[in-house]
Amino acid sequence: MKDTLRDYWSTLRQLHTPFYAETMARDRFLHILRFLHFADNSQRPDEGEEYDRLWKIRTVFDKLNEAYAKFYKPSKHLAVHKVIVKFKGREFD
């Protein structure tokens, strides 16, 4: 995990991930990100008991979930590798 977005384009040996620089220039990505909005900030809901923390991207999030459910059907023999999910317990070998 990188500390900042700029780290994804870092050329430092310990942080270097060529995929990002090969896909898009850092400044271009940051420029697009600056103007990328999915919700009107003046329509922000009150932070009550049922506050939706994803309110800014809720419509996009729901559309993606629909598409994933429609096109991705995992088999019953699905395994999640321990590298993907943080594990704080003890491993048994």
Q: Is the pLDDT of residue 15 over 90?
A: no
Distance between CA 58 and CA 91 in Å, rounded? 37
What is the pLDDT, as a whole number, of residue 72?
86
Count CB neighbours of 9 within 10 A: 19
Whether the pLDDT of residue 82 is over 70: the answer is no
What is the token pair recorded at 30? Answer: 């940051």
Q: What is the pLDDT of residues 32-62, one digit of tens each?
A: 999 998 888 888 888 887 888 899 999 999 9
